[in-house]
C-alpha cells in the first residue's frame, strides 16, 4: 500500500515495490511454485503447514524490509502528508466495509437467474433461425463472419483481429436484418446473467448471505479506489432491466439502505480549481449547471432549454473535461464534426478559464514531470516531447483529467474517514458498506435514520471549503434499486 502513490500502477514500468526489490536484489518465489502446483489455484488451507509458515514468515520479513526505502521515496516526493492524513487512516475504514459486506437477496437472484436463462434460450433460437444454422454467438470471430461474410451486412470499424462487432456497430445495422434486435438483447441479457446474477451468487457467503468485495487502494493512477471479487462499483443502473439487479442488494431486517451522492462533484472541483466565474456563479446560486450550459451553447433563454439540449450540454461538458476531440464528440452524439467543434468552441467562450486550466496543467506535466490534486496526490508523466503524436495526446488527456478525478477521490476519502470515526464515536449501529467514486452507501438502523442522515450529509458537504458549495443528495430504500438517486 505504502508505495502506490509514487508510480503509475498498471501502466508503465515497475511498481515501487518491485523497484525496491530489484535494488535490494530480492526475488520472491510464488507459493504455487514452491509446492509445484504450477498455475493451478489451490486454497492456502491445502498448503503443507511447514511451507505455509516459511512463506508467511518471508512475506512479513519482506514487507518490513520495504518500509524504510518506500518511506524515503514518499518523503522525497512530499507525499508523507497524503499518506498520513488520508491513505493510512482510510485503510481500517476499507477493512471494515469489506468485513461488513452487503446482504444479497438470494431467492430474488435465483428467480432472476431462471427468468434470464429462459429469455436467453428463446433469443438464441431466434438468432439461429434468422441465420439458418447454429454458431457460437459469443465468439466475435464467428459472429463477424456471419454478419459481414454470410449475410453481407455493411461492416464498420475493424479491430486488430477482424471485424468489430461491438454494440455501436451492431446498433447501426438495426432494421437491416432481423437478427440485429435479437442480438443486442441477447448481449444485454447474457451480460446480466453471467457477470451479475451468476457472478454474485458464486461469491456470496452461503452462511451469512452477504458478499464481501475487495476495495483496492493502490490500483488506480488517479487515486480512486477500485473494487473486485465482486466489483460492486459497476452494478447496472443505466437501463431498466439492468437496474433490476440492484433489487438484490438489501438491508438486514430493521435496517434500510441509504445512498449519499455528491452532486456534479467533478464539475464543482473544476469550478474551484479554475475559479471560472460563470461556473462558480451558477453553483453558488444553486442553478442547474447543465441547463445553464445548454442555454449558453444554444444561445437561448434558460427557460427554453429542452431535456435533449440539457443532455447534450452535459455530454459536451464532460467531453471537454476529458479532452475529447470534435471527432469523438461527433461519434457519440451523432452530430457532424463541424457541429461538434462549434459546440466545443462555444463552451470555451462561455467558460473562458477552462482553457487556462488545460494549458497550465499541461505545462506542469511537461516542466515538473507530474500533476497533482488539491491534496498533493501526484501522477507522474514521462518525457512527453519524445513521444509519438497520438501517444502524447493520450498522456495529455490523462494529465488534464487527473487533478479533477483525483481531487474527487481525495475528498470522498476524507469524508469516509470522518464518517466512520463519527459512527464509531457515537456507537451507532449504522455501517458504511460501499463507495462508488462519488457515492457512499450505508446500512442504517431504522431508529437511527434521521440522525444519521443529518450527520452524513453534514460531514460530506462539509468535507472542505471550496469556491462553490458542495451538494449531497440522499435516498433511502429497502434495497439499492429503491435507494438509487436520480440523475
Partner DNA sequence: GCAGTCACG
Partner DNA sequence: ACGTACGTGACTGCG
**Segment 92 to 151, residues that bind DNA, using CB under 7 A:** 136, 138-142
Site for DNA in 269-328 (CB under 7 A): 315, 318-319, 321-325, 327-328
Q: Which is nearer to DNA, 187 or 429 (CB)?
A: 187
Q: Which is nearer to DNA, 245 or 423 (CB)?
A: 245
Q: Which is nearer to DNA, 405 or 445 (CB)?
A: 405
Report the distance separating Cα 183 and Cα 191, nearest Å: 12
Place of cell 471479487: 229
CB of 206 to DNA, least distance (A): 17
Q: Which of 463, 462, 457, 423 is nearest to 443 (CA)?
A: 423
Tell me: does residue 259 bind DNA (CB under 7 A).
Answer: no
Tell me: does residue 361 bind DNA (CB under 7 A).
Answer: no
Report the distance separating Cα 454 and Cα 457, nearest Å: 5
CB of 261 to DNA, least distance (A): 8
Q: Strand locations in 156-199, DSSP E? A: 158-159, 162-163
Site for DNA in 409-448 (CB under 7 A): 436-439
Question: Please, which residues bridge with residue 295 across strands?
Answer: none
Can you tell me which of 22, 159, 172, 336 binds DNA, judged by CB under 7 A? 159
Tell me: does residue 390 bind DNA (CB under 7 A).
Answer: yes
CB of 312 to DNA, least distance (A): 11
Tell me: does residue 237 bind DNA (CB under 7 A).
Answer: yes
Question: Please, which residues bridge with residue 234 across strands?
Answer: none
Which region, judged by CB under 7 A, interacts with DNA, from 275-283, 357-365, 387-395, 442-450? 387-395
Q: Exposure pattern of 201-221 as b/e (b: 16+ CB <10 Å)?
A: beebeeeebbbbbebbbbebb
Site for DNA in 20-49 (CB under 7 A): 39
Q: Which is nearer to DNA, 43 or 161 (CB)?
A: 161
CB of 101 to DNA, least distance (A): 15
Helix (H, G, I), strand (E, B) or coil at 373: coil
Contact code string over 179-198 relative to DNA, x by CB under 7 A:
--------xx-xx--xx--x
Instruction: Compute the CA torsion angle 415, 416, 422, 428 (nearest 10 deg).
Output: 140
Tell me: does residue 397 bind DNA (CB under 7 A).
Answer: yes
CB of 193 to DNA, least distance (A): 8
Q: Which of 445, 465, 250 is nearest to 453 (CA)?
A: 445
Grid cell locating 322: 476529458
CA 476 to chain centre: 23
Question: Please, which residues bridge with residue 473 across strands?
Answer: 261
DSSP H helices in 322-352: 326-333, 337-350
Tell me: does residue 236 bind DNA (CB under 7 A).
Answer: yes
Can you tell me which of 398, 410, 443, 448 binds DNA, judged by CB under 7 A? 398
Helix (H, G, I), strand (E, B) or coil at 340: helix
Amino acid at each position: 500500500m505504502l508505495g502506490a502513490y509514487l508510480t503509475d500502477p498498471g501502466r508503465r514500468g515497475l511498481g515501487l515495490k518491485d523497484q525496491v526489490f530489484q535494488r535490494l536484489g530480492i526475488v520472491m518465489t510464488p507459493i504455487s511454485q514452491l509446492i509445484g502446483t504450477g498455475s493451478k489455484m489451490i486454497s492456502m488451507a491445502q498448503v503443507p503447514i511447514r511451507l505455509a509458515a516459511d512463506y508467511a514468515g518471508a512475506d512479513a520479513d519482506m514487507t518490513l524490509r520495504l518500509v524504510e526505502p518506500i518511506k524515503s521515496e514518499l518523503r522525497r516526493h512530499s507525499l508523507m502528508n497524503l499518506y498520513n492524513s488520508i491513505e493510512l487512516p482510510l485503510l481500517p475504514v476499507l477493512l471494515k466495509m469489506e468485513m461488513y459486506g452487503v446482504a444479497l437477496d438470494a431467492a430474488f437472484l435465483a428467480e432472476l437467474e431462471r427468468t434470464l436463462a429462459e429469455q436467453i434460450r428463446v433469443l438464441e433460437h431466434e438468432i439461429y433461425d434468422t441465420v439458418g444454422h447454429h454458431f457460437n454467438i459469443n465468439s466475435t470471430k464467428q459472429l463477424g463472419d456471419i454478419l459481414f461474410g454470410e449475410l453481407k451486412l455493411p461492416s464498420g470499424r475493424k479491430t486488430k483481429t477482424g471485424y468489430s462487432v461491438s454494440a455501436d456497430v451492431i446498433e447501426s445495422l438495426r432494421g437491416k436484418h432481423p437478427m440485429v434486435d435479437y442480438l443486442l438483447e441477447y448481449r444485454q441479457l447474457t451480460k446480466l446473467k453471467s457477470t451479475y446474477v451468476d457472478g454474485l451468487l458464486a461469491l456470496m457467503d452461503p452462511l451469512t448471505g452477504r458478499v464481501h468485495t475487495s476495495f483496492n487502494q493502490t490500483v488506480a493512477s488517479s487515486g480512486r479506489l477500485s473494487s473486485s471479487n465482486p466489483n460492486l462499483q459497476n452494478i447496472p443502473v443505466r437501463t431498466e432491466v439492468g437496474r433490476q439487479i440492484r433489487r438484490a442488494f438489501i438491508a438486514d431486517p430493521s435496517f434500510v439502505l441509504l445512498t449519499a451522492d455528491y452532486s456534479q462533484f467533478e464539475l464543482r472541483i473544476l469550478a474551484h480549481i479554475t475559479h471560472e466565474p460563470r461556473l462558480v456563479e451558477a453553483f453558488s446560486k444553486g442553478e442547474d449547471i447543465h441547463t445553464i450550459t445548454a442555454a449558453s451553447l444554444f444561445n437561448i433563454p434558460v427557460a427554453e432549454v429542452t431535456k435533449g439540449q440539457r443532455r447534450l450540454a452535459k455530454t459536451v461538458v464532460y467531453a471537454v473535461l476529458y479532452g475529447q476531440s470534435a471527432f469523438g464528440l461527433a461519434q457519440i452524439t451523432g452530430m457532424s464534426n463541424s457541429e461538434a467543434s462549434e459546440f466545443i468552441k462555444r463552451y470555451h467562450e462561455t467558460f473562458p478559464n477552462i482553457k487556462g486550466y488545460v494549458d497550465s496543467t499541461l505545462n506542469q506535466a511537461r516542466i515538473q514531470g507530474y500533476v497533482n490534486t488539491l491534496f498533493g496526490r501526484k501522477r507522474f508523466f514521462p518525457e512527453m516531447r519524445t513521444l509519438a503524436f497520438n501517444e502524447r495526446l493520450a498522456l495529455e488527456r490523462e494529465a488534464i483529467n487527473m487533478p479533477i478525478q483525483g481531487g474527487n477521490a481525495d475528498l470522498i476519502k476524507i469524508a469516509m474517514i470522518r464518517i466512520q470515526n463519527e459512527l464509531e464515536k457515537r456507537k451507532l449501529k449504522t455501517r458504511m458498506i460501499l463507495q462508488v467514486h462519488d457515492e457512499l452507501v450505508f446500512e442504517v438502523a431504522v431508529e437511527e435514520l434521521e440522525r444519521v442522515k443529518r450527520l452524513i450529509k453534514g460531514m460530506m458537504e462539509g468535507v472542505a471549503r471550496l469556491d462553490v458549495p458542495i451538494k449531497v443528495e440522499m435516498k433511502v430504500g429497502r434495497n439499492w434499486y429503491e435507494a438509487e438517486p436520480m440523475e
